[in-house]
Amino acid sequence: MRRPNWVPEGTDLDKPNAARVYDYYLGGSHNFEVDREMARKAIALWPELPQIMRSNRAFLRRAVQFTAERGISRFLDIGSGIPTFGAVHEVARAVRPEARVVYVDRDPVAVAHSRLLMADDPDSQVVQADVRDVDDLMSRPEVAELLAAGEPVAVLLVAVMHFVQDADDPWKLIAVIRDALPPGSALVLSHASLEGRPDQAEDHQRLYRMTPTPLTMRTVEQITGMFAGFDIVEPGVVYLPQWRPDQPEAVGEHPERMTGVAGVGFRP
Ligand code: SAM
């Protein structure tokens, strides 16, 4: 198979990669058969997965648009995956053409793909860092430079903090990021929660055992606690489709089936 130009030399295309599997769920084209095979296995265990992922990505789009409309043109996207399919720089620039984005991910494969995709974009940077080592992340030159201007920054922690276990204290990590943000900055966060789907607990456990990146599901109260020091905007921390839907019908009858909650808050 010919190597597409967004795939760095030396990438092992025989191993599935979580970011490319996610791209497949979204309906993107940045994935390979080995990724699709992995996705199909997961879908067999949990058929609603693609819909859940798309619902999350749709929240990301609405929230980026919302924060851009509120005047923000700097974005720090932590746990960004591969910036394809409704990427933050594209959504933000539809509102603010001057928008700048720093993409951060810990996964070297996702970072390598991202760097090639963003190579010709002087206003987007890609950083390999782990949110659990938050001091290292915040001291990276690209991140420090994004914050240095003193302009508000939207920090995106979309579908990433459930990969951080309680032992690493996700609340404290977010507080460190918060304290580095200029006034008027925003936190955009979504997080997996089974609170509305206790019937899915067993399926989730099975899926959890087969993935190399296990998820920590949290309650709505625990997730709301991540917004400490931010003023949460209406409608609050709600199921993914309920957050400022494009049309009321888009919410559907069972938003809790999307097993994720989301919200946006601003620093006073
Ligand atoms: N934020 C994108 C979205 O919601 O569409 C992608 C979310 S994807 C489900 C989660 C991403 O978080 C993956 O690319 C993974 O590599 C990254 N990730 C997981 N744990 C991380 C950590 N501790 N630090 C940085 N990135 C992490």
Distance CA 194, CA 219 (A): 7
Please check whether residue 94 lies inside any domain of the structure.
yes
Which of 125, 113, 130 lies closest to 88, judged by CA? Answer: 125
Q: Is residue 138 part of a domain?
A: yes
Q: Could you tell me whether strands 74-78 and 100-105 are parallel, antiparallel, or unpaired per DSSP bridges?
A: parallel
The pLDDT of 140-158, averaged and rounded, is 97
Average pLDDT, rounded, for the chain: 92
The residue nearest atom 14 of ligand 1, judged by CA position, is 81
With cut-offs at 50, 70 and 90, classify the pLDDT of residue 212. low
Q: What is the pLDDT of residue 16?
A: 86
**Would you say residue 34 lies in a domain?**
no
pLDDT for position 168: 96
Q: Residue 220 pLDDT > 80, yes or no? A: yes
In a domain, 67, yes or no: yes
From the CA of 161, how far away is ligand 1's center (Å)? 8
Which CATH number is 196's domain given? 3.40.50.150
| Predicted confidence (pLDDT) per residue in 76-113, tens digit | 999 999 888 789 999 999 999 999 999 999 988 889 88
Query: From the CA of 30, how far away is ligand 1's center (Å)?
Result: 16
Q: Is 6 contained in some domain?
A: no
User: Does a structural domain hold residue 159?
Assistant: yes
The residue whose CA is least distant from atom 2 of ligand 1 is 80
- Answer yes or no: are the C-beta atoms of 57 and 86 closer than 8 Å: yes
Better-scored residue on pLDDT, 49 or 220: 220
Query: Residue 98's domain spans which residues?
Result: 49-203+213-266
Question: How many structural domains compose the chain?
Answer: 1
Per the domain annotation, does 3 fall within a domain?
A: no
Nearest CA to ligand 1 atom 24: 130
Q: Given this model, what pLDDT does residue 83 score?
A: 86
Question: How much is the pLDDT for 263?
Answer: 98
Residue 152 CA to its chain's centroid (Å): 19
Q: ipTM more than 0.90?
A: yes
List, chain by chain if needed, residues with CB within 6 Å of any ligand 1 atom.
Answer: 18-19, 22, 56-57, 60, 78-81, 105-107, 110, 130-132, 158-160, 163-164
pLDDT at 225 over 70: yes
Averaged over 10-29, what is the pLDDT? 85
Give the lowest-confidence range in 41-50, 240-249, 257-266.
Answer: 41-50
CA of 79 to the centre of ligand 1 (A): 3
Output the CA 170–ligand 1 centroid distance in Å.
14
Count of residues making up the chain: 268
Which residue in 87, 62, 73, 57 sits closest to 235, CA to CA? 62
Contact 239, 256 (CB under 8 A): yes
pLDDT of 210:
67
Which range (127-136, 192-201, 215-224) has the least confidence?
192-201
Instruction: Give kind and range of the element (H or E) at residue 157.
Output: strand 153-158
What is the C-alpha separation between 79 and 155, in angstroms, rounded?
11
Residue 252, domain member (yes or no): yes
- pLDDT for the residue numbered 1: 58
> Considering only CA atoms, which residue is closest to atom 18 of ligand 1?
79
